[in-house]
Structure 1
Amino acid sequence: MQLGIHLMLLVTQTFAKVAPLISPSGMKMIQGNCLFCALLGMVALLANAKEESKEWINLCEDNSTKGWTPRAKVESFESVDGELNLLSKVNVWVLSNLQMKDFVVEGEVKIPLDYEGFNSGLGFRLVGDQGKPKGYQCEIDQKKPAAIYGIGLGGWIYPRKGTEAEYSKRVQGLFDANSWNHFRIRCIGPKAKTFLNGKLVAETDQLVQTKGSFGIQHHGKGGSVRFRKLRARAL
């Protein structure tokens, strides 16, 4: 919505400044261009209004793990004060029964500090009835936070060869292992972007899987990983 408002304000301000200096024929041409820009602004406003009208779906219910299914044995998986806490001795995914195609999903994550190599993930467009799912994940660890990985779909999607330097520059200093970190994924068609603490980190237009569930992961080493304020909205 801000894009549309900014565009219309810019057109109005520019027109007011130059109008006294323009001939009648030139004025007619500019008025046509201004109308076109105004229409673009209205389209942007309507598109954003449509997106914002979709309701958020809460994925973390107070004191309940209803709607979530572990795909392997876990040491514990519980909801505590609106948080999902997951502990496992094996690499495991816990999948939500909520499926979406185009969406925004976001939440805050706190990793344990007892194992420096701790690894987790926020999965999206996950498919498969049992065991390890197939789909995508936003990486949650100290090594490649907010990177995009294809589970059963070729491995690293971003960064990959040719984008390592760009990724390193974007992610530098963003992840704080001692605090809660906010992750956000925006996915439309083959395109996906991840954001870490409000900053763009990863992007791709190469997704092939079009729909699936959300999930959270524990790689089997380290203490409990904690998720809170986890929610999704269809686009």
Structure 2
Amino acid sequence: MKKLMNIGLLALLSCVVFSSNAQLTKQEKQDGWRLLFNGKNFEGWNQKNGEAKYEVKDGMVIGTTVANTPNSFMCTNENYGDYILELDLKVDEGMNSGIQFRSLSSPDVMKGRVHGYQMEIDPSDRAWSGGIYDEARRGWLCMPEGRPEAKNAFKHNDWNTYRIEAIGNTIRTWVNGVPISHLIDDETAEGFIALQVHGIYGEMKEGMQIRWKNIKIKTENLKPSPYDDIPVVNMIPGSLSEQEKAQGFSMLFNGKDFSGWRAVNSQEMTGKRWTAKNGEIIIHKSDGSETGNDIVTKENYSAFEFKFDFMLTEGANSGVKYFVNEDFDSGGKSGIGLEYQVLDDEKHPDAKMGVVGNRTLASLYDLIPSGDQNPRFKKKIGEWNQGRLVVLPDNTVQHWLNGFKVVEYVRKSNIYDALVARSKYAKFDGFGAADEGPILLQDHGDEVHYRSLKIRRL
């Protein structure tokens, strides 16, 4: 009798363990959730690309690194479009991994290479867990740079709850309830879900493991989470997402004409070489030495956040200026103001002038060089970059380039004044220190394209 009781107790405990890993609660079922992984085997899944080891144990999927094999993916047989996905995971320190979603694999594309969106699993010091990477396609799209609460959300040597909301063109991620990424993109509308074991590289070793459990999905009656204030990476040109609207952003360029813009030192818009076409503002190349046909916003701004996309042509030079003072005499050249440098560093000679690189791309022109730019995140000429300019009410100013903060300084501070005093702007009393001013797009005689100009007052 005692033996039977012990067997019964063991069976009950086994059910409890299994339930915690591979069963839904009554409330979850009522809310429309269903399991993607049955906790027993890989029914409904298939492995692609690499030869990493995948096994099922104690209701979990366990992935183990294997030497001399590329990235491996345990993929759902079914494709999914709009859904909310949640799962728990625990990863060894030093290992890199990810969760693929809306991903693809076709024999005629890179010989079947898995490609598509990935939610990052990154226990390294970089701390990009929850960021969105476009596997084997465009690379990094969203990283939690500049947000300590997001970078600290991941728990090391412990279980983490990951959440992905992919609804229409809006993709959002959370780690342990902390919002990490908000992407607006229309590259892929549906695809499979996959659990990645990264190929061994860097400090990784054979035998490292990652565990996944409680893998569930909801595909109907989807209700997006409330809007928050994390930065939105919007890859759809000229669009303003609902979260951007909720944050107070508006379009600074309507995509059709120059309403809201004028020539510098004029109330009229210049007709020289500026065109509005296909949602872009284009300054065309000069056929001579003529420059200085800058355009500025009709409104002035003090504390603000300005987002803009720009595309350089080979050897091109331009800039985005702010706190422009039209009372300063520019000698017929460009309007005078603080400048976010827009430049082909490789081909334009201005990159090698100034001091310690303070005229290179995204620098505070002639004052502060942009920080170390990982070449991996520097777009090629002819590709679109995403610029971001933040001016806080306390006069802290930040320059961002493709998701990285590359400059930070404080206007009107002693350090700022000292920098101005030894720059080309020393002769302009009060340079960059106005309480407000327009935003300027610079004509430097080269062809440069701008689009998706968005601004909010802070």
TM-score clears 0.5: yes
User: d(CA) in 1 for partners of 2:149 and 2:115?
Assistant: 27
Question: Which residue pairs with 1:199 in the alignment?
Answer: 178
Amino acid corresponding to residue 122 of structure 1 in structure 2? I
User: Aligned runs of 1:195-234 on 2, under 5 Å?
Assistant: 195-221=174-200, 222=205, 223-234=208-219
Deviation at 1:54, TM superposition (A): 6.0
**3-state DSSP class of the match of 1:156?**
strand
User: Taking structure 1 as reference, are residues 207 and 149 closer, same or farther at Cα in structure 2, changes over 3 Å only?
Assistant: farther
Q: Partner of 1:46 in structure 2?
A: none
Tell whether the 8 Å contact from 1:93 to 1:132 is kept in structure 2 after alignment. Answer: no
Q: Give, in angstroms, the shift of residue 133 of structure 1.
A: 1.3
Match of 1:7 in 2: none
For the pair 1:110 / 2:110, whether they are aligned, the reply is no
- Structure number with the higher helix fraction is 1
What corresponds to 1:140 in structure 2? 121
Once the two structures are superposed, the pairs formed by residues 36-47 of structure 1 within 5 Å of their partners are none
Alpha carbons of structure 1 residues 207 and 152: separation in structure 2 relative to 1, 3 Å = farther
- Secondary structure of 1:192's counterpart equals strand
What secondary structure, in the 3-state scheme, does the structure 1 residue paired with 2:165 have?
Answer: strand
Instruction: State the match for 1:121 in structure 2.
Output: 98
CA deviation map 1:52-94 (0-9, x unaligned) = 9662221221221111111134342111122111113232112
Of 152, 165, 187, the residue aligned with 1:186 is: 165
SS of aligned partner of 1:71: strand
CA shift at 1:124, angstroms?
Answer: 0.4
Partners of 2:50 and 2:128 lie apart in 1 by 26
Distance 1:155 1:75 in 2: 22
- Distance in 1 of aligned mates of 2:183 and 2:149: 15
List alignment gaps of at least 5 residues for structure 2: 1-28, 223-458
Q: Is the 8 A contact 2:34 2:217 kept in 1?
A: yes
Per the alignment, in what secondary structure is the counterpart of residue 97 of structure 2?
Answer: strand
Residue range with higher mean Cα deviation, 194-203 or 222-231: 222-231
Higher Rg of the two aligned structures = 2
Matches within 5 A, 1:13-32: none
Count of aligned pairs: 176
List runs of 5+ in structure 1 lacking aligned partners: 1-51
Measured against aligned partners, the alpha-carbon deviations of 1:93-118 in whole angstroms (never above 9, x if no partner) come to 121113211100010111023xx2x1
1:195-230 deviations in Å (ceiling 9; x for gaps): 000111111112420001100101123412110001
**By percentage of residues, which structure has more strand?**
1
CA contact (8 A) 2:52 2:72 kept: no
Q: How big is each residue's C-alpha offset from its partner over 1:24-60, in whole Å with a ceiling of 9 and x where there is no partner?
A: xxxxxxxxxxxxxxxxxxxxxxxxxxxx966222122
Equivalent residue for 2:141?
Answer: 157
| Aligned partner letter, 1:148 | I
Question: Partner letter of residue 109 of structure 1?
Answer: L
Q: Name the SS for the 1:98 alignment partner.
A: coil
Equivalent pair of 1:192/1:205 in contact (CA under 8 Å): yes
Q: Does 2:49 align with 1:64? A: no
Greater relative CO (CA pairs within 8 A, separation 6+): 1
RMSD of the TM alignment (CA)?
1.9
| 1:74–1:87 Cα contact (<8 Å) kept | no
Structure 2 CA distance for aligned equivalents of residues 172 and 103 of structure 1: 25
Q: Which runs of 4+ in 1 moved over 3 A?
A: none
Q: Indicate how the Cα distance of structure 1 residues 105 and 133 shifts in structure 2: closer, same or farther if over 3 A, else same.
A: same
**TM norm structure 1:** 0.69
Q: Percent identity?
A: 26
